[in-house]
Amino acid sequence: MAHLEEVEGIVISVRKHRERDFLVKIFTDRYGKMMFFVRGTKNPNNKLKRAIQLFSHGTYIADIRDQGLSFLRDAKDIAPYSQVQLDIFKNAYATYACGLADAALVDRVPDFNLFTQLKEGLNLMDELEEPEVILNILEIRFLRYFGVMPELRGCVICGKTEGAFDYSSKFHGLLCPEHYFEDERRYHANPKAIHFIRLFSVISFDKIGTISISEQTKKDIRYVIDMLYEELVGLKLKSKRFIDHMHEWDGVLKRPEE
Ligand SMILES: [Zn+2]
């Protein structure tokens, strides 16, 4: 059975198929992620062409099939995340964020909450100078969708919610200094990094502009999130390796301090 539907969606991947056709994966608000087949056309003014660019967002008129590929008939109100499309760094962060959202959820399973988080995250990556922090926030929140959200509200032993914390794999959550001794193999992470990771798990996106994080703390946050993902999620996406190497060039490209 097929039926035409208007769905809000974000293009999270595009693959060329044969000469002119495309396979486009769209994360939709009501149907979850779905693969759509878009037949190519010789007409360069084809409105769909713009609508199926990676990191486009808008309303898609879709022929949703219960099985196999679905089809796009038309699109409207297309608003691309244009900075994300143009800027190689933003592009890399957005690619990884979409890859994680894709991995965290099975196709055709609607999840409006995950859809909204990704949408708001991409919006901010597009607008703000520091897309890395937005990625970090999404990474922490997506742990829930991978079914491995650690206890970040406070110490897992005494429940304390203020002060310095460290992360313990043994307890799948935080330890306060009084209970560090419970796990010698805790992360020994920078307490500031843990502070921000706790904040990222609860902060609303409209408050992001007020956060300021030093370069060293950013590196320490990256370190903790990488450890969490390696241990709890075990996913190795190509787009993440790209980000890791991007930081190496970043160092190479920067001029030495004068
Ligand atoms: Zn404690």
* Nearest by Cα to 192 from 230, 154, 218: 218
Domain boundaries, the chain: 2-80, 84-253
CA–CA dist 115, 214 (Å, integer): 30
Cα of 160 vs centre of ligand 1, distance in Å, is 6
CA angle 96, 99, 103 (to 5 degrees): 140
Cα of 176 vs centre of ligand 1, distance in Å, is 4
CATH 2.40.50.140 fits 2-80, yes or no: yes
- Note the pLDDT tens digit of each residue in 212-251: 899 999 999 999 999 999 999 999 899 999 999 886 776 6
- Note the pLDDT tens digit of each residue in 144-184: 999 999 999 999 999 999 999 999 999 999 999 999 999 99
Q: Please tell me the CATH code under which domain 84-253 is placed.
A: 1.20.1440.120
**pTM given for the model:** 0.92
| Averaged pLDDT score across all residues of the chain | 92
Cα of 159 vs centre of ligand 1, distance in Å, is 6
Tokens 């991995």 belong to residue: 103
Q: In the predicted model, what is the mean pLDDT of residues 190-202?
A: 97
